[in-house]
Amino acid sequence: MTDHDQPARHPSPAAVPSARPAVVVVSVAGELDMDADRTAELDAALQRAATDPGSPAEITVDVSGLGFCDSAGLNVLLRAQLTALAHGRTIRLRGPNPQLLNLLKRTGALTLLDHEPPPPTAA
């Protein structure tokens, strides 16, 4: 028998380890507004994470270092969520501050973005 005559051997799907991480974390700090370069940078990073075939199902945006977010920043987050959902993924906010939570509530976006509460502050 030659190599061509041998039956093909394929590992079972369970035997192939997944190289895909469970969660990808994208961090943003400072201000997220129409004048900030980081708004465009965050948009690009989230769009990449949402559309990359190797990305995990959950994309966490660590906003715990964010001092301010306006409608431009909110638009980036909502657009990323729509793109993520279209690719079978979700966006989750980690540690939103009171200003961001208020913006999300007032615009009705709080129900569209899953979020983890900020860590308790030491008294």
Provide the pLDDT for residue 69.
95
Element spanning 80, H or E: helix 71-86
pLDDT tens for each residue of the chain, 123 residues long = 444 444 434 332 333 344 556 889 999 999 999 887 889 999 999 999 999 998 999 999 999 999 999 999 999 999 999 999 999 999 999 999 999 999 999 999 999 999 987 666 655
Provide the pLDDT for residue 37.
86
Is the distance from CB of 30 to CB of 65 less than 8 angstroms? yes
d(Cα 1, Cα 115) in Å, to the nearest integer? 60
d(Cα 99, Cα 18) in Å, to the nearest integer? 39
Sign, CA torsion 45/50/56/58: positive
What is the fold, at CATH topology level, of the domain defined by 22-116? Transcription Regulator spoIIAA (3.30.750)
Domain boundaries in the chain? 22-116
Provide the pLDDT for residue 87.
96
